[in-house]
C-alpha cells in the first residue's frame, strides 16, 4: 500500500495526538511533531526499514476531539496537506464526553458526520488510501459497563464505512480483546482509554500488519 515518497498522515484524538508538539507537526518526520504513541512507533520503524523510499509521516491528532471536532478542522489539518495515505482513529470521546459531561455525539450523528467527512475526502483526494481504525475500550479505569455497547456500535459504523469506502480496517478492539488474555487490561491502557507504552506498541504492530500486507 505504501509507495516511495508517500505522505502518511495520522488523524484522531488524544490517543493519536499523544503529546505531539503542534508546530513541529507541520514538518514531516519531526520526532517532536509525531508525539510518543503509535504514529511515532510506526514512523520510526518504517523510516528505519525503508530509508531509500523517502516516506513522510505527519501527526495531526488533537486531544479531546469528537467526530464533529475532527470534521470542523479536517480541511486545514488533513486535506490541504494532500496525503497519499490517511489514517483515522476517532470515536471514543463521542462516548466518553457524553458520560462525563453530556457532550457526546449520538451514534447516528457520528455515522452521518464520519461518512460526510469521507465523502469530502474522496472528492478532494480521489487517489488517497484510507485507513480506518476501530475505536476501542478496555474494561478498567474510567470505563463503565454502559460505555461498552455504545462503543461497539461505533465500531460497527467504522467497519461499515471501511467497506463502503474501500478502506483498510485496523481492528484495535479485537487486538486488545486478545491482549487482555495475556495481561490485565490496565497493563495495556491504565484508564481504559489511553494506551500504555505496551498498548501503543501493539497498536503500531497491528496497524502495520493491516496496512502493509
In the chain, count of helices (H) and strands (E)?
9, 5
Given 13, 87, 194, 200, which residue is catalytic? 194
87 catalytically annotated: no
Do residues 53 and 5 lie in contact, with contact meaning Cβ atoms separated by under 8 Å?
Answer: yes
Given 5, 23, 27, 191, which residue is catalytic? 191
Would you say the C-alpha torsion 72, 76, 80, 83 has a positive or negative sign? negative
**Cα-Cα end-to-end distance for the chain:** 8
23 catalytically annotated: no
27 catalytically annotated: no
Residue 12, C-beta contacts closer than 8 angstroms, at least 6 positions apart: 61, 65, 70, 88, 89, 90, 133
- State the Cα–Cα distance between residues 66 and 82, nearest whole angstrom: 22
The number of angstroms, rounded, from the C-alpha of 121 to the middle of its chain's C-alpha atoms is 16
Would you say the C-alpha torsion 179, 185, 187, 188 has a positive or negative sign? positive
Given 14, 17, 87, 94, which residue is catalytic? 14
Residues labelled as active-site residues: 14, 191, 194
Amino acid at each position: 500500500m505504501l509507495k516511495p515518497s508517500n505522505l502518511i498522515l495520522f488523524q484522531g484524538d488524544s490517543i493519536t495526538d499523544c503529546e505531539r508538539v503542534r508546530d513541529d507537526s507541520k514538518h514531516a518526520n519531526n520526532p517532536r511533531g509525531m508525539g510518543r504513541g503509535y504514529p511515532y512507533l510506526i514512523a520510526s520503524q518504517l523510516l528505519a526499514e525503508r530509508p531509500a523510499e523517502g516516506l513522510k509521516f505527519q501527526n495531526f491528532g488533537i486531544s479531546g476531539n469528537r467526530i464533529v471536532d475532527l470534521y470542523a478542522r479536517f480541511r486545514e489539518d488533513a486535506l490541504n496537506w494532500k496525503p497519499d495515505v490517511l489514517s483515522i482513529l476517532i470515536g471514543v470521546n463521542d462516548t466518553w464526553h457524553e458520560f462525563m459531561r453530556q457532550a457526546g455525539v449520538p451514534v447516528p450523528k457520528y455515522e452521518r458526520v464520519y461518512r460526510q467527512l469521507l465523502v469530502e475526502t474522496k472528492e478532494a483526494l480521489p487517489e488517497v488510501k484510507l485507513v480506518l481504525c476501530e475505536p476501542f475500550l478496555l474494561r478498567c479505569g474510567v470505563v463503565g459497563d454502559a460505555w461498552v455497547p455504545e462503543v461497539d456500535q461505533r465500531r460497527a459504523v467504522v467497519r461499515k464505512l471501511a467497506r463502503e469506502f474501500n478502506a483498510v480496517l485496523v481492528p484495535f478492539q479485537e487486538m486488545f480483546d486478545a491482549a487482555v488474555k495475556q495481561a490485565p487490561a490496565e497493563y495495556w491502557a491504565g484508564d481504559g482509554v489511553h494506551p500504555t507504552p505496551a498498548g501503543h506498541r501493539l497498536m503500531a504492530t497491528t496497524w502495520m500488519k493491516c496496512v502493509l500486507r
